[in-house]
Amino acid sequence: MLFIASGVLKLFPVDYFELILVQSLGISWNWVALFARLIIMFEIGLGAMLVSGVALKTTVRIALVSLVLFSAHIALQIFTGEGQADCGCFGELLPMNAMQSLLKNVGFFVLGAYLLMTLEQAKKWSVPLNWLGYVLAGLAIPTVLIITPLPTIEPDADFELDFELVERQEYSVNPISNTGTQLSLILYAKCVHCAQLGNLLATIDPDKLNDQLSIVIVGTDDQIDFFLNATGIEPFNYARSKDRELIAALDGTFPGAVLMEDGVVTTKWTGSEVNIGLINRYILN
């Protein structure tokens, strides 16, 4: 049931899980939509097979191997200093950092190992309808695709991080200008590094930026509201966005920044390259 819950919760919203996969696994944004749905189908299908007791010995072994693989990735996150980021294991509804998720997986692994050693007794907890597992696992595929269909790519989609892509967002103060020097930051409302940058940015007087800085915040309205309140950057010229083309242009890597001269992008940065020093260097010097 926990495998099923994990898969279902990742669907709401699936965009959140997609971004976590891009950021933590480095999957290309062009492929992450399919990859995310395959993981969700696998989890729901595996949970259905476990509940119904279909080939229980094999199914429990698959579950244990899956937990080992997931835990190895989480341990790598902790080792590389990314342990505070949400792992996305239970979607946006139940955020968990890497250590919490790792402890959860260890608990599940112990339970699974115990079930494997006491297989005959474990079968007593299964639903006495083996065929139900096949039916539910099979239904997971169309159900996931109906709830969250694969996004279609428009023939004229703009995946180039250029002035047009940044300009078309709706800004809170003024549209960005196509004359002079403009620096645009693209932040994700659930990104820890973006929040840290936002907190530092809030210490600067917005009037000192002389309309040279614009901020695009990616996320749902609730996420963005929380981000604005937590960082204090609401006085700045910002835009709310769910633009998949903009995310794809960054390949899901946040924070991002573009420097524009007279409406032409001259330099782009992503990840750790985007920091308060960048803002000081180009528009506060």
Confirm if 15 and 88 have CB atoms less than 8 A apart.
Answer: no
What's the confidence (pLDDT) of residue 160?
86
pLDDT digit string, tens, across residues 8-36: 999 988 988 888 888 778 788 888 999 99
Which contacts of 277-285 are long-range, i.e. CB under 8 A and separated by 24 or more positions?
278/183, 279/183, 279/185, 279/201, 279/204, 279/213, 282/181, 282/183, 283/181, 283/183, 283/209, 283/210, 283/212, 283/213, 284/204, 284/208, 284/209
Q: How much is the average pLDDT of 172-178?
A: 91
Within 10 Å of residue 95's Cβ, how many Cβ atoms?
16
Is the per-residue pLDDT at 258 higher than 90? Answer: yes
Confirm if 35 and 108 have CB atoms less than 8 A apart.
Answer: no
Is the per-residue pLDDT at 156 higher than 70? Answer: no
Is the per-residue pLDDT at 282 higher than 80? Answer: yes
pLDDT digit string, tens, across residues 188-220: 998 888 999 999 999 999 988 878 999 999 988
Q: CA 207, CA 194: separation in Å to the nearest integer?
A: 21
Q: How much is the average pLDDT of 100-109?
A: 92
The runs of H, that is alpha helices, within the chain are 2-9, 14-25, 29-52, 56-79, 98-117, 119-122, 130-147, 163-167, 192-201, 221-231, 244-249, 276-283
The boundaries of every CATH 3.40.30.10 domain in the chain are 163-283
Comparing 240 with 155, which gets the higher pLDDT? Answer: 240
Is the per-residue pLDDT at 171 higher than 80? Answer: yes
Q: Tell me which residue has tokens 């083309």.
A: 245
Torsion, CA 257, CA 237, CA 261, CA 267, rounded to 10: 0
In the chain, % of residues over pLDDT 70: 96
Q: CA 285, CA 277: separation in Å to the nearest integer?
A: 10
Write the DSSP string, 130-150: HHHHHHHHHHHHHHHHHHSPP
Give the pair of three-digit tokens for residue 235.
């006085």
Q: CA 250, CA 113: separation in Å to the nearest integer?
A: 42
Give the residue from 124, 145, 200 showing the smallest Cα distance to 14. 145
Q: Tell me which residue has tokens 């639903």.
A: 127
Give the residue from 60, 65, 67 showing the smallest Cα distance to 122. 60
pLDDT digit string, tens, across residues 114-155: 888 888 777 777 766 677 788 888 898 899 999 999 987 666
pLDDT digit string, tens, across residues 58-77: 999 999 999 999 999 899 88
pLDDT digit string, tens, across residues 267-281: 999 988 999 999 989
Question: What's the mean pLDDT when you consider all of the chain?
Answer: 88
What's the confidence (pLDDT) of residue 155?
61
Distances (CA, A) of 24 to 14, 49, 58, 75, 210: 15, 28, 29, 12, 36
For the domain 163-283, what is the CATH code?
3.40.30.10
202-232 as b/e, with b when 16 or more CB fall inside 10 Å? bebebeebeebbbbbbbbbeebbeebbeebe
Comparing 251 with 170, which gets the higher pLDDT? Answer: 170
